[in-house]
Amino acid sequence: MNSKITSSPRPRPARRVARYALVAVAAALPLTACQDSGTGVEVSADDSAAADASEGGKASDGGEQEGGPQRLLWMGDSIGEAQAPALGAAMKAGGVEFKSVAAAGGGGVVGEIAAPTWDRLPKTLKSFEPDVVAYQVTTYDWGTPAEQRAAYERLVKTVNEAGADLLLVSAPPFKIDDFYKPHRAEIESAPRSAKSVAEEHPDTAGFLDASALWGDDGGAQKAQRSKDGIHSCQQGSAAFAVWFGEELEKRYGFAPAAAEEWATGTWTGEKVYSRLGCE
């Protein structure tokens, strides 16, 4: 695609209404699925006609979107893995082919732990042929700011050479437990490094600041973290998918499918949520 990615105004009222509609639709359904820690929004795992359509990958208006991405590759760690089912359902409902390579315990592009990502990415880009790649900064992007910037520069180059735009997405705030404490400074510098790299490539890369959705406090209700304080359950993942669709709209003219078309699909029963205690 290599469409020019530009800064844009605040989301249009229609998109904000779509987000509120997600809450309204989910809350009206039978309370049979997960409730995110700290939230009062329920999402049912029951199927519906609209959900069946979204799981089948049909566009809301019966065709592919004009001016938007056609094939989206999603990258990240286990946080991204928990967001992928909702994001995939939302993209497919909007007529976008979707593939996730988010990986628990890895998925990053910085340091030695990133070796599996760099080994797999060229093959995935060649086989899937995305026109937009979205990389959510992982909890493992450990390194100095210079090392982080070098890795993100390499990612921009690799993705652009494959004919795709790159969107770097900041991670949600999460609990810094004993495992993450030694890397707090690196975790905090990673989104700043990603943003600085995206600004160097305004035509083929962009930075999405997810704090607009989650805030900056992982323990706050707005962050919608699961019981472990790190990942999201179905509601948080659905909220992210709505927000991400709004960001695609601002950058590409993509028209996201209405939340009620996909938010209660079979994706809500994915095993990743049961592993997180999202019942």
Task: Identify which has the larger pLDDT, 42 or 81.
Answer: 81
Q: Which two tokens stand for residue 169?
A: 């997405």
Answer whether residue 31 shows pLDDT above 50.
no
Nearest residue to 93 via CA among 35, 2, 4, 22: 22
Q: Please, what is the Cα angle at 227 between 226 and 229, to 5 degrees?
A: 70
Answer whether residue 27 shows pLDDT above 50.
no
pLDDT of residue 217: 86
Q: Which amino acid is at 251?
A: R
How many Å apart are CA 242 and CA 232, to the nearest integer?
14
How many Å apart are CA 125 and CA 106, to the nearest integer?
18
Answer whether residue 50 shows pLDDT above 60.
no
Backbone angles phi and psi of 134, in degrees to 5: -115, 120
Strand pairing of 71-75 and 132-136?
parallel
Nearest residue to 79 via CA among 35, 39, 135, 119: 135
- Banded model confidence at residue 56, pLDDT cuts 50, 70, 90: very low
Q: Do the Cβ atoms of 134 and 125 come closer than 8 Å?
A: no
- Banded model confidence at residue 146, pLDDT cuts 50, 70, 90: very high
Q: Please, what is the Cα angle at 40 between 37 and 45, to 5 degrees?
A: 85
How many Å apart are CA 261 and CA 48, to the nearest integer?
9
Over residues 31-48, the mean pLDDT reads 37
**Distance from the Cα of residue 208 to its chain's centroid:** 10
Answer whether residue 90 shows pLDDT above 90.
yes
Which of 5-9, 67-71, 199-203 shows the highest mean pLDDT? Answer: 199-203
Answer whether residue 6 shows pLDDT above 70.
no
Per-residue pLDDT reduced to its tens digit, 79-89: 999 999 999 99
Of the candidate ranges 24-28, 197-201, 244-248, the one whose mean pLDDT is the lowest: 24-28
Question: Which bin fits 277, alpha (ψ -120 to 50), beta or left (φ > 0)?
Answer: left
- Banded model confidence at residue 279, pLDDT cuts 50, 70, 90: confident
Percent of the chain with pLDDT over 90: 72
Per-residue pLDDT reduced to its tens digit, 149-180: 999 999 999 999 999 999 999 999 999 999 99
What is this structure's pTM?
0.79
Task: Identify which has the larger pLDDT, 35 or 71.
Answer: 71
Answer whether residue 61 shows pLDDT above 80.
no
How many Å apart are CA 91 and CA 241, to the nearest integer?
8
Over residues 1-12, the mean pLDDT reads 41
